[in-house]
Amino acid sequence: MIIAGILGALLALVSTLLVLNFVEPEKHIEKKVRHGHGISDEQFRRELGTLLGPPIISDSAIINLENGREIFPSMLAAVRAAKRSITFETYIYWSGAVGEDFADALAERARAGVKVHMLIDWVGSQRMDERMLERMRVAGVELRRYHPLRWYHLARMNNRTHRKLLMIDGRVGFTGGVGIADQWAGNAQNPTQWRDSHFRVEGPAVGQMQAAFMDNWIKTTGEVLRGEDYFPPLPPVGRTSAQMFTSSPSGGADSMQLMYLLSITAAKVSIDLSAAYFVPDAMTRLALREALGRGVRVRILVPGDHIDTAIVRRASRANWGELLAAGAVIHEYLPTMFHCKMLIVDGQLVSVGSTNFDNRSFRLNDEANLNVYDADFARRMTAVFEADLSRSQSVTLAKWQARPRRERVLEHLATLFSSQL
C-alpha cells in the first residue's frame, strides 16, 4: 500500500509537470483581427507603441549584417572595444571556434575591469564545454543560465529564452537570428554554413534593447543593473524610428503574435516573410488569406531540404495548401539551412529578431524583435529578401498537391505536435 501510494504520488507529480509544460497556454486572442489602419497611419503606430509595447522612438541608426562572415567580426570588434559594460543574452552557445572567440573576448574584457553580464539558455547551451564557462567565470564574467534543471524551475522547463541581445556600454546593440556556433560562421556557401541576418543598432533604441535584457536578468538573478554604465544618455545617431518589442509567457504570451497579426492585417500592398520555422496557427493563416483577398502580395521564404528540425518542415508543409490556393507565393531556400526571421510590410515596417513564425515563439519562448519603421531600411531589406529568393525554388499548388502519400501522412502526424513547435 505504501509503495502504491508513493507511485501514485510520483505519477501525479509527473502528470502535473507535463500539463504545466506541454499543454498549450490559455489563448487570449480568440477572434480574428480585422483590417484597419495602414502601416504608415499614425493610429497603427500609436496602437503598437501603446497597446502592446514600448513607444516607437526616432533617431537611431541600424545596419544589417548578413551571415557570420559579416556578423561575428562586427560583434567581436564591439565586445573588444567595450569600456564600461557588456550585457549578452542568447539561446544557442555551443563549443567550437566561434564560441572560443567570444569566450576569449568576453573574458579579456572582464579581466580589464569591464562589467560583463551573460545570460544563456540552459537548453540552448547544452553543447557548450563547461571548461569554457569556467574560464569566463574565473575571468570575472557574471554568467547565469536561464531556467536550469532545478526543482523550482520544473513547471517552467518548456519556457526558454530565445532572445538574442548584445549591448556594449549601453550604446551599441546587436540583435537578430544568429547563435554563437560554428554553423553560422561562413557566408551560407554550403550546407554546413547557415544563412542568417543580424543587426547593429546605435541611438535611443539601444536603451529599449538594454531594458529587454534586464527583464530576464532580473528574473534570473534578482539583481537590478543601473547607472550610466548600462543606461547612458543616448543622443540622436540617425533618423530611423524603431521599437524593441518583447514577449514572454510570464508577461503576455500572446503579445508577439498580436503584433504580427496587427501588422499583417494592416497590409495594403505587400507582405514578405522570411521564416526559419513556419508553423502558423489557424488564426494567423486566416489573417494571411484575408490579406491575399484584399489584393496584398504575400511572399514566404522558408528552409528547404537543409533544415535542422525535420518535424517542423513537415508540420509547416501540411498547411500550405490553403495559402497557395489563396495566392501566396512560397519558396524553399536551397543552398543551406535558412535561419532568417524577418517580416516586411508595405515597404514601411520591418520586424527582425529572434521570433519564429510558430507557436513556440508566439506562446512558449521569451522573444525579442526590433520593429523598424523606415522606408529606406525596408528597401534595403527587401533587396536582401529578393537575393535570398533568387537562391530558392517555388512550391506551386500543383506541386504541393502531387507530393507522395507517405509525405502527407508524416506531415499530418507532425501537426499533432504543432503546439510545441
Under DSSP, is residue 207 helix (H, G, I), strand (E, B) or coil?
A: helix
CA 59 to the chain's CA centroid: 24
Of the candidates 177, 147, 183, 145, the residue with the CA atom closest to the CA atom of residue 164:
177
CB of 372 closer than 8 Å to CB of 34: no
- Number of Cα atoms under 13 Å in the Cβ half of residue 27: 12
From 121, 147, 169, 254, active-site residue: 169
CA distance 135 to 221: 20
CA distance 87 to 10: 40
From 346, 366, 374, 388, active-site residue: 346
CA distance 159 to 121: 10
Q: Could you tell me the maximum CA-CA distance found in the chain, to the nearest angstrom?
A: 73
Give yes or no: 153 in active site: no
Give yes or no: 169 in active site: yes
Give yes or no: 164 in active site: yes
From 339, 358, 374, 388, active-site residue: 339
CA distance 146 to 217: 9
Give yes or no: 28 in active site: no
From 164, 198, 306, 331, active-site residue: 164
Which cell numbers in the block locate residue 237? Answer: 545617431
Which class for 114: exposed (0-12), middle (13-18), buried (19 or more C-beta within 10 A)?
buried
Under DSSP, is residue 47 helix (H, G, I), strand (E, B) or coil?
A: helix
β-strand pairing of 297-303 with 270-275: parallel
Which cell numbers in the block locate residue 367? Answer: 522573444
What is the full DSSP assignment across 91-118? S-B-SSHHHHHHHHHHHHHHHTT-EEEE
Contacts of 289 (CB under 8 A, 6+ apart): 322, 323, 326
From 115, 117, 147, 162, active-site residue: 162
Would you mind telling me the total number of residues written for the chain in this entry? 421
CB of 107 closer than 8 Å to CB of 135: yes
Q: DSSP secondary-structure letter at 240?
A: E
Nearest-Å Rg of the Cα atoms of the chain is 21
State the catalytic residues. 162, 164, 169, 339, 341, 346
